[in-house]
A and B are shown apart, each in its own frame.
Chain A
């Protein structure tokens, strides 16, 4: 899966969780301050992403994810791990 595809999926999920148009969501946006997601919504984002991409992401892994770009990077890292396994 290309980085663009991962980013599109992340953006799509975010747009389901907060009232922001997908085209307005940028990698540098902070989940909380810029997109208005609280800690519950940002956990939901990562949970939905883990389910959609079948990633073995743990609660501890997502604790430091605060931006759209970091979410994409986390997904890519776990996709790469899955590929190796």
Chain B
């Protein structure tokens, strides 16, 4: 396999690069001109300049590649402009697909989201068969991811496979994206939040799943990658115990949580910085459904790590890079 990874400098990207290197494969790593590549430099992997809005850079990057991993799908910083987000996401995805088709790429593994997984009738766990018929209208992120995944699956010039990972946790979340609530809880911050079903997965298992998907002789077109599901409030209580901090406050009602997120987004748009609770996170929690990842277990041979194993790995890494302070109590506990 001659792989190219778009989004290699990001959280999932770095874990995927590690998984490919473990398989003896050397990926060409797409990187934007301005991004943090310290972790990629440490891995001594070849890097190539790619900008999703500059098709020529994509065509050059894909030359001689047979597999492209697309982990750089548009993720708007804020949810205030759904139409702009949709147009940007689709334009950039189109550029990636065009460049891959022109370069003769055999297979493209597109990383989507469990935001595209619809509830199962009857309330049981959702599988790959459960897809929203139309774009969900309750949030910019959900709508964007639905449109992008639908476009990816319509591609007929090359084989496109879609992976839907749930909330990824683990090492190398340098921007503290998915781990934001985890880090806030570990630091004893009580972030206002709604309640609902949340699903998690270790980023290293997702990376391995992506590699196996790329190598599979007859893969499924859409695969859910998820280790487990629980109520957020229960998870936060478990985390509070783990980090020896006060338990979380009671959850907000859905409407109250969304109003809080929207106010925070408007503040962040005006003043910069990040919202205390991202709108897409609230939407994912409120509309979250339990997930069944049996297909990934069966066809990709994955056995997902437990939450405690994932959190241990995250803690070790986060303390090394000072995202979490070292804690004598934690060290005693270990």
Using a CB–CB cutoff of 8 Å, the interface residues on chain A facing chain B are 36, 38-40, 43-44, 46-48, 50-51, 56-60, 62-64
* Interface membership of B276, Cβ < 8 A: no
Interface of A, secondary structure class, is helix
Listed by A's residue number, 8 A-B pairs whose Cβ atoms lie within 8 Å are A44-B35, A44-B36, A47-B37, A50-B38, A60-B321, A62-B38, A63-B320, A63-B321
User: Contacts A44-B36, A60-B321 given: A51-B174 contact, CB under 8 Å?
Assistant: no
Instruction: Chain B residues near A64: list those with CB within 8 A.
Output: 322
- Chain A residues with Cβ under 8 A from B176's Cβ? 39
Contact A58-B42, Cβ < 8 Å, known A63-B321, A63-B322: yes
Q: Assess the B41–A51 pair: CB atoms within 8 A.
A: yes
Complex Cα distance A38/B272, Å? 10
* In contact, A60 and B41 (Cβ under 8 angstroms): no
Tell me, in angstroms, the Cα distance from A39 to B173 when the chains sit together.
12
- B24-53 interface bits toward A, Cβ cutoff 8 Å, 1 = contact, 0 = none: 000000000011111101100000000000
> Is B301 on the interface with A (CB-CB < 8 A)?
no
> Is B175 an interface residue, CB under 8 A from the partner?
yes
Residues of A within 8 A of B38 (CB): 43, 46-47, 50, 57-59, 62
A47-B35 CB under 8 A given contacts A56-B41, A58-B42:
yes
B127 to chain A, nearest CB (A): 36
